[in-house]
Structure 1
């Protein structure tokens, strides 16, 4: 990892610091991440790496470090975003935390601070993010197909009602 993060990664890290310092908003962090192109996995990986380094001196957080019920509720309410090319990375947006992972290392970011995750938990959470995105894309594809079929049917019905000029 380079000693200086990419300027976009630096901006994201500043947004996290501002949010945790009470000077910024969680929405600014989420917005900064979701505006990234789907192929910017390397950039997200830099952000994860920098955040991970900041908390590296502390022991990794267990996924069950808090109550299992709280974690379950947090994960069940998550929205997800993934990036690739060539680094895969994922974001899980829960009600109170943001979870960033590249499958090898991950962090849980909240207004109270950042905690690192064990690599096995990071890998599972990346898979969860990818699964959520794939499922959402499949539902979107079905919906697009249904709407396309409706449009074809309505067009053919409308065209059949047009009387020819004789």
Structure 2
């Protein structure tokens, strides 16, 4: 099964991200566009992540730093303020919309988007971020929200520690 994004016509999702980074599209509109991808079309998000990482690598941007990234507390605050969206099996992907950044991840790769910059995430944190997205989504509709909040906090602390090693993009 092919999707419109992967067919190449397209790139409406990629076009939306690039328009946002050029200042031609409001952030809320980009978030609505990304959130509007149906939960069974995670392949579209995976394709977008791949295209964005390819662009970052083509531009020879440094995808990760050597320990001089944002601090654990900074990432923890970003993740605590995040809204999430998750796409279901078999094309699992996640979207985290924080106060300053937008993260798109699947289990193999991910990208951090900020204003006019982007950076690819190391594969080692992508699985944790997908789990974080799924946890936040579950917590939003769970009966036992208190227990899931503890799980969310644990995942945020674990993920923010890993993300703190990524060179910041400004």
Scaled by the length of structure 2, what TM-score is found? 0.73
**2:167 maps to what in 1?**
none
C-alpha distance in 2 between matches for 1:8 and 1:91:
23
- For structure 1, which runs of at least 5 residues remain unmatched after alignment? 142-166
C-alpha distance in 2 between matches for 1:26 and 1:19:
6
How far does residue 133 in structure 1 lie from its aligned partner after superposition? 0.9
Higher relative contact order (CA 8 A, sep 6+): 2
C-alpha distance in 1 between matches for 2:12 and 2:144:
32
How far does residue 136 in structure 1 lie from its aligned partner after superposition? 1.4
Q: As a proportion of its length, which structure holds more helix?
A: 1
**1:153 maps to what in 2?**
none
1:59 paired with 2:59, answer: no
C-alpha distance in 2 between matches for 1:107 and 1:48:
6
How far does residue 139 in structure 1 lie from its aligned partner after superposition? 3.7
Change (3 A) 1:65 1:6: farther
**2:51 maps to what in 1?**
50
Q: CA-atom RMSD, angstroms?
A: 2.3
**2:120 maps to what in 1?**
116
Change (3 A) 1:97 1:6: farther
C-alpha distance in 2 between matches for 1:138 and 1:7:
38
**1:69 maps to what in 2?**
73
**Which of 81, 103, 121 does residue 107 from structure 2 map onto?**
103
Is the CA contact (8 Å cut-off) linking 1:64 and 1:71 kept in structure 2? no
The 3-state SS of whatever aligns with 2:64 is: coil
C-alpha distance in 1 between matches for 2:139 and 2:7:
31
Is the CA contact (8 Å cut-off) linking 1:79 and 1:93 kept in structure 2? yes
**Which of 122, 132, 139 does residue 135 from structure 1 map onto?**
139
C-alpha distance in 1 between matches for 2:10 and 2:100:
22
Scaled by the length of structure 1, what TM-score is found? 0.75
**1:17 maps to what in 2?**
18
Deviations 1:55-110 (A, max 9, x none): 12333225971232221110110110000242100000100111000011000011
**2:150 maps to what in 1?**
none
How far does residue 8 in structure 1 lie from its aligned partner after superposition? 8.3
Is the CA contact (8 Å cut-off) linking 1:9 and 1:46 kept in structure 2? no
Deviations 1:26-65 (A, max 9, x none): 1121011111111111111101110111112333225971
